[in-house]
Structure 1
Amino acid sequence: MAMPRDDADAVLADLADLILNVGRLVRSRTPEESPRVVPLNETERQVMRVVDLYPGAAPSEIARRTRLQRTNVSTALRALEGKGMISRAAAAGRGVAVHPTELAASNLRVLREGWARELAGVLGDDLDAVRQCTELLGRLEQRLTADEQA
């Protein structure tokens, strides 16, 4: 039996609200003060995530995937290059390919270790539930990204 639309809307809105808030809470507990972590602003974090997931992406692809204006991506790429987080290389034609550096990989490892410690302290050993949640959020991200590209 289908859930009434008002109930479904409320459940979906509650999920979106929780996703946003949990992300904010995890970020607030991120070990960014560590000397092993390169501090990034929000735009740089978004750009870096795409560079990590799609090494060799062109700046235009990064802008499309982050839904940021091309000028903001260019500014973030200059800042990330200055921080040693990315390298740019000529690609086919007049294109540019953006790659994460070893410093970026190290930075991400430190952050992921911190996130894992933080969530382990809160969630304990319920890894089956974590895997189910991760799978659901992964599908949600894929579908939202696919909708953006359509």
Structure 2
Amino acid sequence: MPLSAEQLDEFADAVISLAHRIDPRGRELPGVRRLTSGEIMVLHEIATDPGSTATTVARRIGLQRSNVSATLHRLESEELVRRVPARTGDRGIGFELTPIAHGELDQVRRHRSQRLQTAPADILQAAVAHAHTLSRLARAVSALPTS
């Protein structure tokens, strides 16, 4: 049975609300630069798949390649990513995280974890049980062509 637009809107609102509540943007985290949510998404994609190109990252997170390229240039100038050969099957330049970026992403993850742990355990356990499905949904949505 297809979901209604209202059901999908409610779901999207819940996901966005959760993301905003755990997002460290605008907060001072010890040892972490003020990263934008876009920079965090790019760093996460590079951490997940080192050697990814700007084109691959853009496709996965649903942003314009030019925006991802500009973000990668900024992250490279801040010594958070470095250029490496593209992973097998890709053309162009790939990127990987530097040790500095790994440390900063660890701090962001700790912050997010601490924020989530403020929820009641039963709600958190029920939501975490669906983490894999939500990750698959995120990949499926970002794979769609943008208008």
Could you say what the CA RMSD is over the residues aligned between the two structures, in angstroms? 2.8
Which residue pairs with 2:119 in the alignment?
Answer: 122
Pairing 1:80–2:85 present: no
Gaps of 5+ in 2: none
State the alpha-carbon separation in 2 of the partners of residues 135 and 61 from structure 1: 21
Q: 1:18 Cα shift?
A: 0.8
In the comparison of the two structures, how many residue pairs are matched? 144
Which residue among 31, 35, 40 is the counterpart of 2:35?
Answer: 40
Q: CA deviation at 1:146?
A: 4.3
Identity %: 27
1:70 aligns with 2:93: no
Query: Could you report, residue by residue, the CA deviation over 1:26-71 in whole angstroms, capped at 9, with x for unpaired residues?
Result: 11x5684123112212332232222122210012212222332232
Higher share in helix: 1
Instruction: Identify which range, 31-40 or 48-57, moves more after superposition.
Output: 31-40
- Shift in Å at residue 132 of structure 1? 2.1
Residue of structure 2 equivalent to 1:52? 47
Unaligned runs of 5+ in 1: none
CA contact (8 A) 1:86 1:98 kept: yes
Q: What whole-Å deviation, never above 9, does each CA across 1:59-107 have from its counterpart, x for those lacking one? A: 2212222332232222111110122210102448972110011111111
- Evaluate the alpha carbon distance shift between residue 121 and residue 9 of structure 1 in structure 2; reply closer, same or farther with a 3 A threshold: same
Partner Cα separation in structure 2 for residue 50 and residue 44 of structure 1:
10
Structure-1-length-normalised TM-score: 0.78
Greater C-alpha Rg:
1
TM-score by length of 2: 0.79
